[in-house]
Amino acid sequence: MATFQEHISSSTPVLVDFFATWCGPCKMMAPILDQLKDEVGEGLTILKVDVDKNPRAAQKYGVRGVPLLILFKEGKIVWKQSGVRQLEELKSIVSSHA
């Protein structure tokens, strides 16, 4: 299985969803991310990182609140935003970094 670092180093954009199981807004993001994956397909990888199970990753990327979405391209952060984001906004951001 690939490591987190291997995943985010991909030339395909990788959207990482830092979330918590107890977080209401995080639960609202789940179907939006599912729909985004359905529409974008192979042009995007989505990883979900539970901040309670992965505190070191959360600390490394400065997660202060959830949900926090970070878009990586070839290992570099190209976009970072907290809070619930809408599908059209996410599609636009992903396509601008494809």
Q: Which of 4, 7, 9, 23 is catalytic?
A: 23
Is 2 annotated in the active site?
no
Is 23 annotated in the active site?
yes
Q: Which of 8, 14, 16, 26 is catalytic?
A: 26
In the chain, the N- to C-terminal Cα span, in Å, equals: 24
Q: Which active-site residues does the annotation give?
A: 23, 26
